[in-house]
């Protein structure tokens, strides 16, 4: 596709249209970025230049840039300008029984893990309930900070019944998949899983580890994995950066008892009671 100068797009602003200027300009800038295949880290023209090119007020320009920033298209740096943000990483962890390492590797991305914790601890009430084991039973806890292109993307904490994964506590998980390791070392094959997803506000510690500010939401993924026998083998919760992650879900329509049904996990919405 032939590149186009941003000045040539100025005529696309229709000042007689009922569509607000900032909406028109936003679409123009998105088209400019797509046509020119502007890469992440590259700078857009400054506010003053955009005002001059499109004959629009600085208020409209700033409103447009603010919307693009909220949508994760650009990053604005005080005193420097607006830069194209890195693309969000699309993950398939909702509908597929894969780990983060395998999911990223299949997409041609090499993930790196910084292991923050890898030790055996007694199961508390929550862990014993999730893994269906006695309170105080030994579990292996693995806390990892996962990186893509040297940038922290997800913070994940995994719990495994220690009796079923002895020796894994000594393995180096920096560059390898936990699921593959369980299959090779322990002959453990995960058959099914239950996963839930919700948006949460980051804690101060999570902000520091993931290099984000408190205004960036996190996507919390919580999962329990089972063997074919129905025995829980893994419980984990992962906090994905909301500005860097998106989840892809494939919907398939099937027929059940003469009716069409979509086989997708239930959407649970907690509605507070009105007093």
Domain borders along the chain are 6-84, 89-261
**For residue 254, what pLDDT is reported?**
59
Q: State yes or no: pLDDT of 205 exceeds 90.
A: yes
Q: State yes or no: pLDDT of 178 exceeds 80.
A: yes
Q: What is the DSSP letter of 149?
A: T
Query: Degrees (nearest 5) of the Cα angle 145, 146, 151?
Result: 105
The crossing angle, in degrees rounded to 10, of helices 58-70 and 47-54 is 120
Place of tokens 């030994």: 138
Q: What is the mean pLDDT of the chain?
A: 81
Q: State yes or no: pLDDT of 113 exceeds 90.
A: no
Q: Residue 249 — very low, low, confident or very high, per pLDDT cuts 50/70/90?
A: low
Does 250 or 34 have the greater pLDDT score? 34
**For residue 204, what pLDDT is reported?**
94
Q: State yes or no: pLDDT of 223 exceeds 80.
A: yes
User: Which fold does the domain 6-84 belong to in CATH?
Assistant: Arc Repressor Mutant, subunit A (1.10.10)
At the fourth CATH level, the homologous superfamily of domain 89-261 is: Chorismate lyase-like (3.40.1410.10)
**For residue 190, what pLDDT is reported?**
85
Instruction: Give mean pLDDT, residues 101-123.
Output: 75
For residue 102, how far is the Cα from the chain centroid?
Answer: 15
Place of tokens 């997409």: 107
Predicted TM-score (pTM) of the model is 0.61
**For residue 53, what pLDDT is reported?**
92
Q: Residue 264 — very low, low, confident or very high, per pLDDT cuts 50/70/90?
A: very low
Checking DSSP bridges between strand 245-247 and strand 89-91, what pairing results, if any? parallel
């Amino acid at each position: 596709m032939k590149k186009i100068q941003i000045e040539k797009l100025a005529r696309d602003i229709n000042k007689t249209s009922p569509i607000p200027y900032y909406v028109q300009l936003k679409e123009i800038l998105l088209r400019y970025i797509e046509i020119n295949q502007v890469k992440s880290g590259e700078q857009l023209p400054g506010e003053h230049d955009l005002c001059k090119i499109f004959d629009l007020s600085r208020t409209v320009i700033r409103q447009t840039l603010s919307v693009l920033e909220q949508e994760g298209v650009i990053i604005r740096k005080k005193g420097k300008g607006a830069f194209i943000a890195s693309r969000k990483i699309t993950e398939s962890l909702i509908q597929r029984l894969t780990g983060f390492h395998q999911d990223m590797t299949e997409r041609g991305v090499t993930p790196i893990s910084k292991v923050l914790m890898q030790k055996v601890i007694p199961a508390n009430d929550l862990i014993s309930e999730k893994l269906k084991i006695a309170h105080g039973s030994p579990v292996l806890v693995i806390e990892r900070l996962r990186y893509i292109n040297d940038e922290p993307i997800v913070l994940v904490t995994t719990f495994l019944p220690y009796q079923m994964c002895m020796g894994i506590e000594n393995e180096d998980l920096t560059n390898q998949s936990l699921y593959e390791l369980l299959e090779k070392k322990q002959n453990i094959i995960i058959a099914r899983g239950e996963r839930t997803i919700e948006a949460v506000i980051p804690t101060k510690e999570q902000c520091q580890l993931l290099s984000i500010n408190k205004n960036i939401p996190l996507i919390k993924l919580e999962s329990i994995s089972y063997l074919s026998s129905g025995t829980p083998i893994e419980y984990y919760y992962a906090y994905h950066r909301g500005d860097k992650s998106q989840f892809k879900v494939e919907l398939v329509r099937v027929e059940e008892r003469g009716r069409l049904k979509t086989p997708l996990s239930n959407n649970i919405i907690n509605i507070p009671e009105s007093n």
